[in-house]
Amino acid sequence: MDNLTSRRIDSLQQLEAIYGAAAPASIAKEIDYISPHYQQMIEKSPFAVLATIGSGGLDCSPRGDPPGFVRVENNKTLLMPDRRGNNRLDSLRNLIEDPRASLLFLIPGVGETLRVNGTASIIQDDALRQSFVVNGKVPTTVIEFNVERVYFQCQKALVRSRLWDKDAQINRTDLASTGSMVKAIKADFDAEKYDQQYPERLKKTLY
């Protein structure tokens, strides 16, 4: 491949000259609060991706629970439980350093996604945590998200990817097991034992 440096776009003027102006509707749909229609999308969503930034770099973390797991406290505030995980705390470490955050909501079977940008903080409050109890388990903390910009994204990406098409799904065995992935990095890792124990471990650690 030849050197692409001379063809790299590095100014807004170049970028806008190539792509042109934004479609009017793409600007009109952006607001600074959770509208009733946007609230409906959040309440139907069982899955969101949380994006954060810190001194260690960027992070993009999947979050999921029953639909409506991200609570609309009011039209400027969202609350999201931080469920049990692997304790890497990548997102939370970033929020301690830099409160800027984004959420991308997906709804099974729906082509549109919802993007929310703003700032977030970590709340440790027993009553609030108890309000998010599932299967008798409370989240360790709750993330409070302060909304600054919110808008829906059109269907194109999900249509192109066929994300919700049943016949586009692949068999998990077409990919390496999680244990095998770790063993490829850490040679003395017992991949077979890890994979055998995973289904039961998942049940016990889901919440």
Q: Give the domain ranges of the chain.
A: 15-163, 170-207
Token readout for 161 is: 């990817």
Give the pLDDT mean for 51-66. Answer: 95
Query: Which of the four pLDDT bands, split at 50, 70 and 90, describes residue 7?
Result: confident
Tokens standing for residue 138: 């409370």
Q: What is the pLDDT of residue 50?
A: 98
Q: Name residues whose C-beta falls within 8 Å of residue 58's C-beta, 6 or more positions apart in sequence.
A: 51, 52
pLDDT for 2 equals: 62
Q: In what order do the strands lie in the sheet with 57-64?
A: 57-64, 47-54, 100-106, 113-123, 141-153, 77-82, 71-74
* Rounded percentage of the chain residues whose pLDDT exceeds 90: 89
| Side chain identity, residue 175 | L
Element (H, E) at 136: none
Question: Among 84, 80, 62, 61, which Cα is nearest to 71's?
Answer: 80
pLDDT tier at 85 (50, 70, 90 boundaries)?
Answer: confident
Tens-place pLDDT, residues 142-173: 999 999 999 999 999 999 999 999 999 999 99
Determine which helix (DSSP H) or strand (DSSP E) holds 189, and give its type and residue range: none
d(CA 157, CA 113): 9
- d(CA 111, CA 113) in angstroms, rounded, equals 7
Give the model confidence (pLDDT) of 171-185 as tens digits.
999 999 999 999 999
What's the pLDDT tens digit per position in 36-45?
999 999 999 9
Report the CATH number of the 15-163 domain. Answer: 2.30.110.10
Closest CA to 145 of 101, 203, 91, 183: 101
- The whole-angstrom separation of Cα 52 and Cα 101 is 5
Q: Are 191 and 177 in contact (CB under 8 A)?
A: yes
pLDDT at 62: 96
The pLDDT of residue 120: 98
- DSSP strands (E only) in 42-112: 47-54, 57-64, 71-74, 77-82, 100-106
Q: What is the mean pLDDT of the chain?
A: 95
Amino acid at position 5, single letter: T
117: confidence class by pLDDT, cuts 50, 70, 90:
very high
